[in-house]
């Protein structure tokens, strides 16, 4: 018998769940502790973090025992993910929706259930944080419902943060691998140069010096013109200077290879990265009923790590996307300002969702974004974006009361900007010594 509700766009939800599932498993130890605390605060014998899969409800962190997965058709958490609010049933046996449910009418004879959906920035619920008992209980009061929601937001934030941390770790690993390969290639080239100096250059230079000395000393007979002797002495002296320089070069070691020193000096095309971020968010936009639109701007390149720029753009645009109400439009534009800096502007056209104005009320997030919008997993991405931007001398601003409806401004300073994406030589701004990696002086 089918007891679970139908979830709108469940295929998209399952795609998002697939991306987050490994990170839920990697948090099993801290989640076990949190679920234990959660259940004890509510004086409940059982608690769990669940993931609602395609055909089953899977128990990942539990208190009160270890529980086998159950069919999604009968799992109570299938109802919890159908909406954004807590789902509470004080007496399951007295509720028409669950009276015939085999988990209620048979083993384990569930009597009480309270759960809250675990919602991630993509706007879908992965599963639930829930409490249950084998006997009926009084319904939760307002304070208990609010506490239940707070615990749910904490679990969601933990899962999102773990995924972001893993993305950063993978990006750093890929960068380190690239650096290692470039370092190996540089060392190989350096050893080849030392070999050439020893075998192909120093040997003939030694011979040249020896012949010049013999000529200058008239070892094999007199030289009629004394100028030739002088030339021979100059040849020998110059050759000895070259020999000393090459010998010193042979004793040198290759310079330390870092991402900044060995980067290929190519500016990343901002337009290309924006299009890639919008393509990645297309499914979320369709699900939210929001149109995505770019306004053609100047051809701008940024001397910023591609992985960092992709992470900043995707998370910032996702944040803005979920602040626009259904039927609205998200407009992205970019320009080069008078001082040479680059600015990416995100404008929300149409009605914004409730709470968006409150989120923007404090203005800049580049200074201390960590205290803004506590508990909001979408706003929780802002500190990471701001720190990444600051690492390149840039800033993130969440404006308030902008006449054009601007929701976010992401800026990079002139020394990070090229008007023509390509190699360093193609830029019209002074970039000598500019590294593509983060500024070492920026606060972490």
Specify if 392 maps to a domain.
yes
232 shares its domain with 270: no
310 CB-near residues (< 8 Å, 6+ apart) = 273, 276, 277
The confidence score (pLDDT) of residue 370 equals: 34
Q: What's the domain count of the chain?
A: 3
Please indicate, yes or no, whether residues 282 and 257 belong to a single structural domain of this protein: no
Average pLDDT over residues 343-355: 76
User: pLDDT tens, 230-284?
Assistant: 767 767 676 666 666 666 665 655 544 333 333 445 778 889 899 888 888 888 8
Both 298 and 278 in one domain: the answer is yes
pLDDT at 350: 73
Would 254 be classed as within a structural domain?
yes
Predicted local confidence at residue 141, as pLDDT: 92
Of 93 and 243, the one with more pLDDT: 93
Pair 254, 190: CB distance under 8 Å: yes
Q: Is 234 in the same domain as 97?
A: no
422 in a structural domain: yes
Tokens of 434: 């500019």
Q: What is the pLDDT of residue 368?
A: 38
Q: What is the mean pLDDT of the chain?
A: 77
Residue with tokens 């789902």: 87
Model confidence pLDDT, tens digit, residues 79-88: 999 999 999 9
Q: What's the number of CA atoms in the CB half-sphere (13 Å) around residue 138?
A: 6
Asked if 302 and 309 count as a contact pair (C-beta separation under 8 A), the reply is yes
Statement to judge: residues 97 and 246 lie in one domain: no
Whether 36 shows a pLDDT value over 80: the answer reads: yes
So what's the pLDDT on residue 195?
64
Instruction: Identify which has the larger pLDDT, 437 or 167.
Output: 167
- Which of 262, 277, 312 is the endpoint of a domain? 262
pLDDT tier at 176 (50, 70, 90 boundaries)? low
Last residue of a domain, one of 93, 125, 140: 140
The answer to whether residue 415 is domain-embedded is yes
Q: What is the CATH number for 334?
A: 3.30.565.10
Highest mean pLDDT out of 109-118, 177-186, 364-373, 430-439: 109-118
User: d(Cα 193, Cα 352) in Å, to the nearest integer?
Assistant: 63
Residue 1 within any structural domain of the chain: no
Q: Are residues 45 and 123 in the same domain?
A: yes
- Tokens linked to 192: 């080849």
User: In this structure, is residue 154 part of a structural domain?
Assistant: no
Domain that holds residue 63: 10-140
Reply yes or no on whether the pLDDT at 357 is more than 60.
no
pLDDT at 369: 37
- Give the per-residue SS3 of 44-72: CCEEEEEEECCCEEEEEEEECCCCCCEEC
Structural domain contains residue 168: no
Q: Where is the domain boundary, 213, 245, 262?
A: 262
Task: Please state the rounded mean pLDDT for residues 408-418.
Answer: 89
Q: Cα separation of 341 and 298, whole Å?
A: 12
**52: CATH:** 3.30.450.40
Q: How many CB atoms lie within 10 A of CB 68?
A: 7
For residues 294 and 403, membership in a common domain is answered with yes
Percent pLDDT > 70 in the chain is 70
Position 30 in a domain:
yes
Cα 144 from chain centre: 35
Q: Are residues 111 and 70 in the same domain?
A: yes
Per the confidence metrics, is the pTM higher than 0.85? no
Asked whether the predicted pLDDT for residue 443 surpasses 80, the reply is no
Residues 51 and 200 in one domain: no
Residues 290, 272, single domain; the answer is yes
Q: Are residues 73 and 191 in the same domain?
A: no
Distance, CA of 322 to CA of 97 (rounded, Å): 32
pLDDT recorded at residue 259 = 34
419 and 297 within one domain: yes
Residue-wise burial string across 408-427, b where 16 or more C-beta atoms lie within 10 A, e elsewhere: bbbbbbebbbbbebeebeeb
User: What is the rounded CA–CA span in Å between residue 214 and residue 233?
Assistant: 10
């Amino acid at each position: 018998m089918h007891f679970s509700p139908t979830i709108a766009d469940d295929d998209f939800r399952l795609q998002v769940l697939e991306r987050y599932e490994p990170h839920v498993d990697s948090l099993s130890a801290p989640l076990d502790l949190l679920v234990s605390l959660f259940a004890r605060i509510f004086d409940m014998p059982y608690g769990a973090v669940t993931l609602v899969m395609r055909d089953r409800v899977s128990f990942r962190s539990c208190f009160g025992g270890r529980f086998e997965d159950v069919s999604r058709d009968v799992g109570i958490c299938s109802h919890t993910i159908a909406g954004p609010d807590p789902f509470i049933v004080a007496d399951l046996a007295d509720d028409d929706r669950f009276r015939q449910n085999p988990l209620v009418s048979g083993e384990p004879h569930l009597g009480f259930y309270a759960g809250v959906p675990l919602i991630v920035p993509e706007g879908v619920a992965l599963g639930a944080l829930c409490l249950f008992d084998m006997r009926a209980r009084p319904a939760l009061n307002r304070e208990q419902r609010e506490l239940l929601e707070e615990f749910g937001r904490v679990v969601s934030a933990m899962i999102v943060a773990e995924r972001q941390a893993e993305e950063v770790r993978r990006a750093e690993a890929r960068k380190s691998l690239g650096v290692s390969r470039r370092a190996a290639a540089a060392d190989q080239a350096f050893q080849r140069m030392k070999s050439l100096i020893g075998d192909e250059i120093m040997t003939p230079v030694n011979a040249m010096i020896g012949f010049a000395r013999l000529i200058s000393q008239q070892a094999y007979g007199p030289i009629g013109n004394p100028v030739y002797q002088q030339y021979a002495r100059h040849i020998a002296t110059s050759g000895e200077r070259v020999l000393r320089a090459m010998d010193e070069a042979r004793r040198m070691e290759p310079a330390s290879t870092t991402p900044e020193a060995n980067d290929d000096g190519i500016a990343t095309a901002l337009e290309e990265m924006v299009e890639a971020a919008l393509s990645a968010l297309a499914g979320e936009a369709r699900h939210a009923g929001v149109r995505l639109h770019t306004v053609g701007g100047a051809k701008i390149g940024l001397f910023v790590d591609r992985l960092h720029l992709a992470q900043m753009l995707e998370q910032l645009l996702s944040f803005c996307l979920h602040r626009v109400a259904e039927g609205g439009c998200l407009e992205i534009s970019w320009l080069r300002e008078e001082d040479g800096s680059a600015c990416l502007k995100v404008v929300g056209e149409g009605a914004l969702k409730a709470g968006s104005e409150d989120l923007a009320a404090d203005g800049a997030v580049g200074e201390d974004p960590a205290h803004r919008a506590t508990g909001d997993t979408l706003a929780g991405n802002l500190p990471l974006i701001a720190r990444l931007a600051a690492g390149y001398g840039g800033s993130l601003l969440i404006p308030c009361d902008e006449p054009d409806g601007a929701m976010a401004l992401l800026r990079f300073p002139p020394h990070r900007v090229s008007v023509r994406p390509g190699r360093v030589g193609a830029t019209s701004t002074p970039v000598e010594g500019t590294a593509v990696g983060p500024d070492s002086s920026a606060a972490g």
